[in-house]
Structure 1
Amino acid sequence: MMAVSPQNRIARICVLIESDLSRPWRIDQLADACAMAQHHFQRRFAAATGETVAGYVKSRRLEKAARLLSRSNMRVLDIALECGFQTHAALTRAFSAHFGLSPAAFRDKGLPEHLQGMPPRPFLRPLASRGLSVDFDLIDLPPQWLHWRKATGMVDGRYFPDLKSVGKAFWALRQELGSRKAHLATGFINGPRAFLDDTAVAYFGALLSDRTDLDWAHGADLLEPGSYAVFPHYGPLTTLHLTWHKCVRAGVEQHGLTFAKTWMFETYLIDTLIAKPEKLSALIHLPVQKGTIGQTPPVPLP
């Protein structure tokens, strides 16, 4: 029986946290559930998600609170209890510090656009991280055609609820591609609305320089040329969603990036879901606007 990788154990802890955001999670409890010493668990968690354990739990609670404030008529006290805050005042203090306005003002006016995160998750805001380095490379890409099939639904924070079926589909695509020069990839017009989102859509298939008639594909879309921040993912593909979280939460603010509203995508460098933690296995491509890159020089990928 294959041992569970450290990254997958961290992914399971994120699912555990999400299962009950009202619970007063303690680091020692989560470390025990992850079968790691506390200091080792905290270091692994920050490396995987871009946040401390406490920071991750707090940000997820506040994102949920913001959704409930904007989409329900629940009392602020009831929202506080639902999201793990013991009192109305405790939620107000944390919410005001995080979003820059009180829950009442947020419910009345909404969150200013300049404080929002990437759509469609405007309440998962970028995070200024001083202690964590999130490497990326800045590149200009030519136009590419994504030949795709659709997969719908997000489970436990990741796309592709049915990994076995998707794996078979990718295998069939490789057979039809033959010797054609292509990258296996998944594209996203929008990200998920929440950690669990049964409406989230992923377009998986192959990137080619020209539109090609593939029996395998159900459609094709042109990815316009532009600038992309490319973030590396190491280890198993089953934890790729954690690297996405790290890029969007910690990588954006750290490097002064502003996203362009177009396709995001990931490309795969291995033919299996399993990889050693040090193995470069995928690349995340986030479209950015020119002229908004911070002063930190890009770090070349290995």
Structure 2
Amino acid sequence: MLQWRRPTQPDGYPRVSIVAKALWYIETRYVDPALSLDDVAAACDASRFHLTRAFGVATGRSLMRYLRARRLTQAAQALAGGAPDILAVALEAGYGSHEAFTRAFRGQFGVTPETVRARGHCGGLELVPALRLDRGGELPLAAPRLIGRPAFTVAGLSERYTHETAAGIPAQWQRLAGHVPDASVTYGVCEDADGGAFDYTCGVEATGAVPAPLTAIRIPAQRYAVFFHPGHISAIRMTWRAIFDRWLPASGLRATGGPEFERYDERFDAATGHGGVEIWIPVSLDDEDRVCA
């Protein structure tokens, strides 16, 4: 069993929020076309992986898509105000050419920059306002168990999501039920992917050949912080948010970026969504805080 000493927080846990820091940093600097994910992560004293996960589960958006949307919103407002030089607006928004800016602008709003400038207003555009982190929905979080687990394999169905499209995960579980109807323990495995996306595999532990259309994912031997989400499954994102946005920054531990997973055992009732779910986060411990019992 692994134990650690959580660093003392002057204001007391759980008031630390790296997402609130990230939002403030973005809002004060997003007009800088050179602002990058690395810059925001460094300002929050977090890894790219940790910040990306925390931001996604707290806001339902990927950080870089939010940053681009904020820049394009500012650009739309400038154009509606009569900005005479579209290329200058494009450069200020971080685009190196009129063409690249137009593609991004049309993708965001469905119209060209010229159209918005000619209209002289932003009516009908889905502008992205500055996000404010709602602290009213914070969830109490029990201390996790810290344990090691050997490598194992999960066989299941895999899909790629962004934080904006993650609402499709329950339907993925419904599809899995047709392949493993009697499983007593199932897993939902999250792996980081490019561009703020993530791969989600729902499945069961496997020891032999994996039949089509299931795919196999190998989970390496790792140390984990194991949390328990006691509420309805529809609120599990609140627990993920509490872990990445509040618990990890205050813990003195570091998320390694390896596969994380939800573990659904006999306590969970798939028919009602009640019963609770374990969340396993791979972590590393600083040498001075590590005690092996």
TM-score when normalising by structure 1: 0.51
Structure-2 residue corresponding to 1:161: 168
Aligned mate of 2:272, from 271, 274, 292? 274
Is residue 119 of structure 1 aligned with residue 49 of structure 2?
yes
Aligned to 2:254: 258
Indicate yes or no: 2:278 matched with 1:283: yes
2:69 maps to 1:63: no
Quick check: 1:140–1:227 contact (8 Å CA) kept in 2? yes
> Which residues of 2 match residues 31-50 of structure 1 at below 5 A?
none
**2:239 match:** 243
Task: Please give the per-residue CA displacement for 1:245-295, whole angstroms capped at 9, x wherever unaligned.
Answer: 11112221333212223111111132426345xx4x111111112555858
Structure 1 or 2, whichever has the larger Rg, is: 2
Percent identity reads 12
User: In structure 2, do the counterparts of structure 1 residues 67 and 139 end up closer, same or farther at CA, with 3 Å as the change threshold?
Assistant: same
Residues 14-69 of structure 1: CA deviation (Å, up to 9, x unaligned): xxxxxxxxxxxxxxxxxxxxxxxxxxxxxxxxxxxx967xx87xx65653454577
After superposition, the Cα gap between the structure-2 partners of 1:62 and 1:112, relative to the gap in structure 1 and judged at 3 Å, is: closer
For 1:202, the equivalent position in structure 2 comes to 200
Is the Cα–Cα contact under 8 Å of residues 41 and 51 in structure 2 kept in the other structure? no
Distance in 1 between residues matched to 2:270 and 2:52, nearest whole Å: 33
Match of residue 214 from structure 1: 211
Relative contact order (alpha carbons < 8 A, sep ≥ 6): 1 or 2 greater?
Answer: 2
**2:220 match:** 224
Give, in angstroms, the shift of residue 169 of structure 1: 1.5
CA offset digits 1:49-90 (Å, max 9, x no partner): x967xx87xx6565345457777646xxxxxxxxxxxxxxxx
Task: Provide the rounded CA distance (Å) in 1 between the counterparts of 2:32 and 2:179.
Answer: 48
Partners of 1:189 and 1:211 lie apart in 2 by 22
Q: What stretches of structure 2 of length at least 5 have no aligned partner?
A: 1-12, 56-138
Is the alpha carbon distance of 1:132 and 1:66 closer, same or farther for their aligned partners in structure 2, counting shifts above 3 Å? same
Where does residue 145 of structure 2 map in the other structure? Answer: 137
Match for residue 189 of structure 1? 191
Q: Which amino acid counterpart does residue 148 of structure 1 have in structure 2?
A: G
Contact 1:135–1:231, Cα closer than 8 Å, also in 2: yes
- Structure 1 residue 148 displacement after superposition: 2.8
* Aligned amino acid, residue 188 of structure 2: T
The Cα of 1:201 is off from its aligned counterpart by 2.6
The amino acid that maps onto 1:169 is R
**Contact residue 160 and residue 166 of structure 1 kept, 8 A:** no
1:109–1:254 distance in 2 versus 1, CA, 3 Å: closer
How far off is 1:170 after superposition?
2.6
What is the rounded CA distance, in whole Å, between the counterparts of 2:240 and 2:279 in structure 1? 7
- Indicate conservation of the 8 Å contact 1:147/1:206, yes or no: yes
Quote the Cα distance in structure 1 between the aligned partners of 2:254 and 2:144.
14
Distance across 2 between alignment mates of 1:116 and 1:283: 24
- Would you say the 8 A contact 1:227–1:290 is kept in 2? no
Distance 1:247 1:160 in 2: 20
1:115 CA drift (Å): 0.6
